Amino acid sequence: MSIDHAHWAQYLLAAADGRSEVQAITKQVDELGVDDAYAIQAALLELQLGRGDVLAGAKLGLTSAAKQEQMGVSEPVYGWVPQASVLTGVEVPISELIHPRCEPELVFILAEDLAGPGVTAEDALDAVEKVVGGIEVIDSRYEAFSFTLTDVIADNTSAARVAIGSDGVGPREVDSKTIACGFEIDGEQVGSATGEALLGDPAGCLAMLANHLGKHGQKLQAGWLVMAGAPTDAKPLDIGTTATASYSHLGSVTVQGV
């Protein structure tokens, strides 16, 4: 039977709106393929944009071994970053979310459009204005934060909130593979990694995303932010939790659950 993309997009939006976790789609349909999953993701984005939101960028997920192992999914995924999900301060109201987690992110700010196919890591760097540090707050809409590859794609790769650092470096000022990141929860170090953890090269991740979008007739746009994926695993973000990601060259970024 064919998959009703609009139905599942409504299902996921209702879960986010109601702050209530829902059963994974793959537990309810016989087969959910990758193309159907991206079609649900696109329908979900349409619903969000229909409410007056605009796109602030795009994201990759599951680009590090740490994240793939934590989530039990061994392929990278691509999603969207609506403007309403970009935090303007450190506070993250937990009551707006279901079971949020936080994770460090290397983030590219684009100076130029970037369109696949055939984009290389060098081409990708040519389109970058600066590299900044960030923290993503992810919030799976699924029960127990548990999903298959296609479930998480449909759910816009668990995107929920993102905090972006103010200090950045030019794309060729520092090799993003060598940028180091330490992740602290309530003052205790819980993870550390370098940019190389992201499939060997964060710029290669950016190129992969541009090539993925190119297949769907889409492109990354000048001014957008692009998250390359978390280099360490994610940690719960509860009321009272303070999470800080400290980067070499990029300063630090903090979020606090309130």
Q: Which of 140, 150, 194, 256 binds ligand OOG (CB under 6 A)?
A: 140
Q: Does 156 participate in binding ligand OOG (rule CB under 6 A)?
A: no
Q: Which of 40, 230, 237, 255 binds Mg ion (CB under 5 A)?
A: 230
CA-wise closest residue to 147 among 70, 39, 81: 70
What are the phi and psi torsion angles at 100 (to 5°)?
Answer: -65, 150
Contacted entry of ligand OOG, Mg ion, none for residue 158, CB cut-off 5 to 8 Å set by kind: ligand OOG
CA atoms within 13 A on the CB side of 6: 0
Give me the least distance between CB of 159 and Mg ion, in Å please: 8
Alpha helical stretches, state H, the chain: 5-17, 34-50, 65-71, 121-126, 149-154, 202-215
Q: Which of 136, 155, 184, 201 binds Mg ion (CB under 5 A)?
A: 136
Q: Which amino acid is at 132?
A: V
Q: Which of 121, 124, 152, 163 binds ligand OOG (CB under 6 A)?
A: 152
Binding region for ligand OOG (CB under 6 A) out of 90-98, 188-196, 226-234, 243-251: 226-234
Angle at alpha carbon of residue 252, lines to 249 and 256, rounded to 5°: 165
Binding positions for ligand OOG, rule: CB under 6 A: 61-62, 67, 71, 103, 136, 138, 140, 152, 157-158, 229-230, 234
